[in-house]
Copies of this chain bind each other. A is one copy, B any other.
């Protein structure tokens, strides 16, 4: 049986705390904006928003260093922000603009920031789990002390690649922490309707690794839990499966009427809002004053306004002629097919 991680309660240095809060607020602001732009049909494509789950990405990312790596999911905006992503580059990407992280080729589901160690989101549920596992293998072989955080949802844990990857990581004792964001549903299907365990972390025992459950609404709990697992991984003691219990506020996508869940359930989780909880904690422990807290929010709001302006008004779409760029490294499309670049 998986271990339930006890609550931390203790706060850290003010600057660090302010950064965590800012990241969570940034994610929320970003996702609220995305939802609004989708509703207004300004944004095209599909976006899966992370609102409600902020503490997971932010807490987890606070537990790793600059050289470490992550692999992200279709619900990847939060991971990107928490990994240091810049809102304007992200929103430009969602808009399919040339200035976006992926020059507009990827959009919401493929947001990546490889140079910052974000090996990318994927549109294939559970598709990033083998990739993250392979990245961890590289970390192990390169012996530079890197670890990988591999994010995925409860639904992803029912896919075959979850099983194959965790088995591989368990056998090879890879430096990776699997972070299951259990938000109770995979699209419309509740965990209890499609999954044989209630706690995804209970599956860890099948892979010779520890399973730990943490309250995903408490950013410091997540940070502490992941930090412990990261330490273990870095010490060569192998992988951990961390399950963070959380909730997505919005529908799966913008067209989802959420018939599969109750207003009561939604209300219960809204009351456990990760930003509210953390703000309260910081105020209670007197780490920051209400004024300081508001200032963080104001800063975020200003950045968001700038990001929107940048993405919508200041950024060009890719030129149609650039369609063939970067399909292959070192080759371009020619009249008769691919041609090697000099």
Residues of A in contact with B (beta carbons under 8 Å apart): 158-164, 166-167, 170-171, 193-197, 202-203, 205-209
Contacts and interface: CB of A to CB of B under 8 A. Distances in A.
A323 to B, nearest CB: 34
A53 B209 CA distance: 32
Nearest to A1: B205
Given A197-B208, A205-B205, A206-B197, A167 B158 contact: yes
B171 A194 contact: yes
A197 B162 CA distance: 16
Contacts of A193: 171
22 contacts: A159-B163, A160-B160, A160-B161, A160-B164, A162-B163, A163-B163, A166-B196, A167-B194, A167-B195, A167-B196, A170-B196, A171-B194, A196-B206, A196-B207, A196-B208, A197-B206, A197-B208, A202-B205, A202-B206, A203-B206, A205-B205, A205-B206
Contacts of A209: 196
A217 B218 CA distance: 53
B195 A171 contact: yes
Given A206-B202, A206-B203, A159 B170 contact: no
A161 to B, nearest CB: 6
